[in-house]
């Protein structure tokens, strides 16, 4: 198993202006893994409670290359659960409820078979927990962490330690701004790099993503989609991260050029995710669809 993601598997309730869905298989690690598995085998380290439906595990296992050996099912615990509502402006949403459940318990164990992984994605959680995961991968070659602004207020010391030990960070633009006090994506990414990572990816939702790296900058718009094509944006950012890491793990590379191409794969995977609720669109991907959309994207951003 070259690529492992640690993070959250959960049950979502999603309301969009046009439809609602309850009990959707969600969580950042689910979206990450479903995307990454399109490019490279990936192992998931996460915990769920006894309310987690068997069919959700089966649905995840139906992704070829997605390994659930690290999914701990805990009796007497509740699965993480999130409910949210999107506005007409799909870049805006409000959280209706969050039940942390199993997330407030001890972190899931990393299976022995995963410990040889070289590409590690530390999904968002307390930075001390992320550090604990990191130490369990002695063969790590590229460690990328998702983080959020919350930890700068509640776990500043641990976050600083984490930033010194990861190769890269992926954040939302609003989180990057909150973390650094700088509004522009370029400036906030540069500032985060000063704390340790060799690269930072700032995700800007429908406005694309920026990569700052010691060797240069890359910037891409989102894949252009019509309004009617956006069914549910939940998990698009996590799918971006999955496509990004999946490409790097598949190619076994971590140089600037590879990171730049990985951004395009992330963009393409995210563009599929928002075409359905949950993982439906990713599950329905046919051979060649990713390459075909990648070529479309390439043509759309061409500068000759």
Residues that bind a second copy (CB under 8 A): 88-89, 182-187, 190, 204, 206-208, 210, 216-222, 224-228, 230, 257, 260-261, 264, 294, 297-304
- The residue (of 195 and 217) whose beta carbon lies closer to a second copy is 217
Could you tell me if 59 and 68 are in contact, meaning their C-beta atoms sit under 8 angstroms apart?
Answer: no
Cα distance between residue 196 and residue 188, in whole Å: 13
- Give the torsion through C-alpha atoms of 167, 173, 174, 177, to 10 deg: 70
**Measuring CA to CA, how many Å separate 272 from each of 237, 240, 294?**
11, 10, 11
- The residue (of 150 and 219) whose beta carbon lies closer to a second copy is 219
- The residue (of 93 and 165) whose beta carbon lies closer to a second copy is 93
Minimum CB–partner distance for residue 44 and a second copy (Å): 28
Distance of CA 265 to the CA centre of its chain: 13
3-state secondary structure of 85: strand
Minimum CB–partner distance for residue 274 and a second copy (Å): 12
- The residue (of 155 and 301) whose beta carbon lies closer to a second copy is 301
- The residue (of 234 and 267) whose beta carbon lies closer to a second copy is 267
Minimum CB–partner distance for residue 120 and a second copy (Å): 25
- The residue (of 157 and 228) whose beta carbon lies closer to a second copy is 228
Tokens of 125: 């959680």
Sign of CA dihedral 206, 226, 300, 261: positive
Minimum CB–partner distance for residue 257 and a second copy (Å): 7
**Measuring CA to CA, how many Å separate 79 from each of 10, 11, 53, 72, 147?**
6, 7, 10, 11, 21
- The residue (of 37 and 271) whose beta carbon lies closer to a second copy is 271
**Backbone phi and psi for residue 254, each to the nearest 5 degrees, phi listed first:** -150, 20
Minimum CB–partner distance for residue 301 and a second copy (Å): 5
Cα distance between residue 83 and residue 290, in whole Å: 30
**Residues in the chain, total:** 304
Minimum CB–partner distance for residue 251 and a second copy (Å): 11
Minimum CB–partner distance for residue 104 and a second copy (Å): 36
């Amino acid at each position: 198993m070259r690529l492992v993601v640690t993070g959250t598997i959960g049950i979502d309730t999603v309301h969009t202006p046009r439809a609602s869905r309850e009990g959707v298989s969600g969580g950042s690690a689910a979206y990450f893994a479903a995307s990454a598995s399109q490019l490279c085998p990936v192992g998931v380290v996460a915990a769920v409670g006894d309310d987690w439906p068997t069919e959700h595990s089966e649905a995840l296992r139906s992704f070829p290359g997605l390994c659930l050996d690290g999914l701990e099912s805990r009796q007497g615990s509740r699965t993480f659960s999130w409910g949210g509502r999107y506005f007409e402006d799909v870049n805006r949403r409000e959280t209706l409820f969050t039940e942390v459940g199993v997330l407030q318990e001890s972190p899931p164990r990393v299976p022995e078979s995963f410990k040889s992984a070289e590409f590690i994605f530390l999904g968002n959680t307390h930075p001390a927990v992320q550090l604990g995961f990191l130490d369990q991968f002695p063969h790590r070659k590229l460690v990328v962490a998702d983080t959020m602004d919350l930890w700068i207020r509640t776990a500043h010391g641990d976050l600083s330690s984490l930033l010194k030990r990861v190769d890269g960070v992926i954040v939302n633009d609003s989180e990057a701004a909150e973390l650094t006090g700088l509004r522009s994506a370029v400036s906030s990414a540069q500032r985060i790099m000063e704390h340790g990572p060799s690269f930072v990816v700032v995700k800007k939702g429908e406005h694309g993503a920026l990569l700052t790296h010691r060797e240069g900058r890359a910037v891409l718009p989102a894949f252009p989609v019509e309004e009617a094509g956006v069914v549910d944006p939940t998990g698009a950012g996590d799918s971006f991260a999955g496509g990004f890491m999946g490409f790097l793990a598949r190619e076994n590379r971590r140089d600037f050029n590879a990171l730049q191409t990985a951004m395009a794969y992330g963009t393409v995977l995210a563009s599929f995710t928002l075409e359905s609720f949950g993982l439906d669109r990713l599950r329905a991907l046919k051979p060649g669809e990713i390459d075909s959309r990648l070529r479309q994207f390439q043509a759309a951003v061409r500068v000759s």
